[in-house]
Structure 1
Amino acid sequence: MFTSEIQERPATELAPEAIREHLEKMVQDPAFRTSKRSVQFLRYVVEKTLAGAEDQIKERTIGVEVFGRDPSYDTNVDHVVRTAAIELRKRLAIYYGDEQHKSELRIQLVPGSYIPQFLPPPSEKTEQISVAAPDRVDTPSPEPAARPKTRIYLWSCIAALSLLTGTLLYHWIRPLDAQYLFWKPVIDTPGPVLIAVGDVPDGPPTPVNDAPIPVIHRTSAPTVPFGDTVTIARVLGILSSRRKTVIIRREEVSSFSDLRQNPVVLIGAFNNEWSLRLTRQLRYTLALDRERHLIYIKDNLHPEDRSWSWPTDQPTENQGSVSGPRLQDYALISRIWNSDTGQVVVVIGGLYTYGTEAAGEFLSDPQRIAAIAGVPALKNPHSNLQIVLTTTVTDGTAGPPRVLAASDGSVGQTSQK
């Protein structure tokens, strides 16, 4: 007979067929139909328990087998299982809080673990207790008759409390998400977001006299590199999911007046003049070494360093090709709060198009951007933030982005490497 107490090993006296039948009914309910990962999570832990393998129900195992994570992934950084468990508990509370499901058997996660516990319906449990109890008097007492209502009330209170707790935890954890924190200043600024896309440069930029930024050689071809296009799509997806209206224009036709009216996302580095101009006062800037034939990301604390560079004296048609060598590209992401425009500006650009593509992947992937969750500037929406990334280019394809440095963009800030 089942009890409502937490057991070391979840009760499984209910017939597996009945549990599976109930599970299939649950996942078709509106409480679960809209959450694919809650259904996958629930199916996995239920089947493991019914198979007697509940000792395998652990965070890393679930992350690998349910959510496709690499077996060596860092559970301290990637909280996908914990977040999914909170969501699942919330949906279970919603499901069982519905009056039409009061008389059904129950599946719940044991507190402090991801192992499910199977409980009979409250009415069935009451009947079993009544049968087991010895007869005491011939006249029925009013107390036993009131027990079913008491139990239903208790379950309702538990379900409501679980729902409230799950909702609070969800909204408490969500703001700590690194991706949300990065885009928060853009999302919270009223009005549409302007995405200004860099024009395709005809060769590397060149310095002119003592000009603070290199000069871009423009081309009349209205084309955008593939990597930049992918990044535009990724940024558009992020902003659209937050119900932001987006305007996309070529950088060449985006005036300073346009940049003052809206929050702006600049795509491209050396092919976007605004990217060059608006980052020049920060710690990490885009620079050109004419003597060494390099474009590079300059660290103004170490101006002599050329580690983050791309050669400009190599034929562009062989860069990153299948027959060419593996290459290393670099990207600079800058979230500028106190910009010359008076608006928040996000600059996303690689030294070459592979870096831009890798930067777009980094900003749109909650797991990858979690690598900068500990940077203080990320949590302050009124602070500048700069991130330097690298990616290895093999067979014409950019590899996963990797963080090299992150800071608030001031020259006195120590980067995290």
Structure 2
Amino acid sequence: MEQDPSIELSDEKIREQLDLLVQDTVFRSSKRSIEFLRYVVDQTLKGSADQIKERTIGVEVFGRAPSYDTNMDHVVRTAAIELRKRLAIYYGEEKHRSEIRMSLVPGSYVPHFTLPTQPLPPEPEVAPEPAASAAPTTIATAQAEGSVPPPEPTPAATISAASHRRSLFFGLGLAVLVILSGVAYGRFHAQATQDIFWRPILDSPGSVLLAVGDVPNGPPTPSPTADNQDASLPTLQATAAPTVPFADMVTIASVVGTLESHGKKVLIRRESVSSFSDLREGPAVLIGAFNNEWSLRLTNQLRYTLALDAEKHLIYIKDTKNPTSRAWSWGTDQPKVHKHGGPALHDFALISRIWNSDTGHVVIVIGGLYTYGTQAAGEFLTDPNLVQSIVKSAPLDDAHRNLQIVLGTTVTDDTPGPPKVLAVSVE
């Protein structure tokens, strides 16, 4: 009888794999994902997997009060989505294929551990008393996640019963292969779609300029020379900030990681010291909206623009085909931090991929009305599955057409939720 591979999943080996995961670059930038994964793995190894619930995680990991409302506060669900994505990215790399795999059981927050897929062991011609442990790892995994195992034959089993069992194992193995092939194709196709969005920059020679907004002190003011305030360009403050908002730093890290993974060198500069001559030297990525003058200037002639309504104390994304709408707005006089139990905050972001005929290069603008929107936009552009969602709405492969994406995000406890596509424009 062949030993079941699952018994090799000792606590020691699982903890060693956990250390490998949290020390990898995929996880190091997310303290939230690290704490979440450490907690659920530790609870499972202690035999308390049945205690891993949304409320328990919210209290033990994220410091919520025991009576907090899980219907209003989605911190655990949002963190679980992020953790699943990071695990998928980690195990999607070839160098990690031979490691113990960790995942979250579908529909729960309980971790599941499996060995790397092993070859199917040979089936004997006649097996009167087959051992369930002889099933391949892929079959054992499928059973652990809810599939119904085949019934065991009685001691009086005949050769036809063994043949039936072999056919059943073959069928299950083939089904698993088809499923894994579909998952692999979906991941590859989504990754290819993300690459198409970035292709105009990736195919350009030389380095990429990443200009970070550094204008402090809140929203801009209306242009004093404009006759019509609704059509005015916001005017930024003249001084530069010594620091960069945390959300902008998260977006910078995501974008730099995506570009450098394709071999592109990135030059990071403050927007205030980036000139038109710099933009003429090669492609550029602009981080920030109302804190980045280049973002305001380069999107001004497109369908979706960054606008200011001083009378209503709003900054907003303006649709030139519906100029009176203020649906995508942020109140400049509203609280900037979401408090537990308070009304939900909604931020919006504008992503623009612009073919700039003046510079002869592509410029990508990533900016939210507030910092939450900027972070959500950065997450969107560096997640292959999210970029895949706009394929039917936009021809990503035409670099000479201007592409714009309007996103929305709901803020919970100072953390932006998953970005949602609200509008797409191609000109």
- Deviation track 1:181-227 (CA, whole Å, cap 9, x = no partner) reads 11111100111000000013313111122285210124443111111
1:394 matched to 2:412: yes
| Cα offsets for 1:261-294 (capped at 9, x unmatched) | 1100000000000000101111111111122111
Does residue 1:373 correspond to 2:413, yes or no? no
Which of 208, 211, 214 aligns to 1:193? It is 208
Aligned AA (2:292): N
* Correspondent of 1:288 among 308, 314, 322: 308
Query: For the Cα contact (< 8 Å) 1:200–1:225, is it kept in 2?
Result: no
Select which of 157, 172, 176 maps to 1:114.
176
What amino acid sits opposite 1:192 in the alignment? S
| 2:218 corresponds to 1:203 | yes
Q: Which residue is 1:241 aligned to?
A: 261
**Matched ranges for 1:92-107 at <5 A:** none
Change (3 A) 1:52 1:344: closer
Q: How does 1:3-402 map to 2 (within 5 A)?
A: 15-17=1-3, 34-36=95-97, 40=101, 43=116, 50=135, 54=139, 57=142, 113-115=175-177, 177-208=192-223, 209-210=225-226, 213-314=233-334, 318-322=336-340, 324-402=342-420
- CA gap 1:294/1:245 in 2 versus in 1, 3 angstroms: same
Letter of the structure 2 residue corresponding to residue 188 of structure 1:
D
CA gap 1:38/1:113 in 2 versus in 1, 3 angstroms = farther
Distance 2:269 2:383 in 1: 24
Change (3 A) 1:198 1:109: farther
CA deviations on 1:23-49 (whole Å, 9 max, x unpaired) are: xxxxxxxxx972338974874687998
CA contact (8 A) 1:265 1:348 kept: yes
**CA–CA distance in structure 2, aligned partners of residues 312 and 48 of structure 1:** 63
Report the Cα distance in structure 2 between the residues aligned to 1:57 and 1:175, rounded to whole angstroms.
25
Contact 2:347 2:370 in 1 (8 A): yes
The answer on whether the counterparts of 1:57 and 1:115 sit within 8 Å (CA) in structure 2 is no
Residues 11-31 of structure 1: CA deviation (Å, up to 9, x unaligned):
xxxx5339889xxxxxxxxxx
The separation in 1 between residues aligned to 2:377 and 2:264, in whole angstroms, is: 21
Equivalent residues of 1:362, 1:401 under 8 A apart: yes
Instruction: Give the CA deviation at 1:380.
Output: 2.3
Give the SS at the match of 2:401. coil
1:203–1:217 contact (8 Å) kept in structure 2: no
Q: Does the C-alpha gap of structure 1 residues 375 and 112 become closer, same or farther in structure 2, counting only changes over 3 Å?
A: farther
**Matched residues, percent identical?**
53
Deviations 1:356-382 (A, max 9, x none): 011111111122222112233213233
RMSD across aligned positions (CA): 3.8
TM-score where L is the length of structure 2: 0.59
Relative to structure 1, the CA distance from residue 42 to residue 276 in structure 2 (aligned partners, 3 Å threshold; closer, same or farther) is: same
- Match of 2:350, SS state, is strand
CA deviation after TM superposition for structure 1 residue 61, in Å: 8.0
SS in 1 for 2:327: coil
Q: Secondary structure at 1:344's aligned position in 2? A: strand
Long gaps (5+) in structure 1: 1-14, 22-31, 63-106, 117-165, 411-417
Kindly state the Cα deviation for residue 112 of structure 1 after the two structures are TM-superposed: 5.6
Letter in 1 for 2:3: E
Shift of 1:237: 0.5
Q: Return closer, same or farther for 1:372/1:323 CA change in 2, 3 Å cut-off.
A: same
C-alpha separation between the residues in 2 aligned to 1:202 and 1:323?
A: 28
The superposition leaves residues 120-144 of structure 1 with CA deviations (integer Å, 9 ceiling, x where unpaired) of xxxxxxxxxxxxxxxxxxxxxxxxx
Would you say how many aligned residue pairs link Structure 1 and Structure 2?
289
Distance 2:369 2:294 in 1: 15
* SS in structure 2 at match of 1:177: helix
Point out the structure with max Rg over C-alpha. Answer: 1
- What CA distance in whole angstroms lies between the structure 2 residues aligned with 1:54 and 1:390? 41
Distance 1:375 1:290, change over 3 A: same
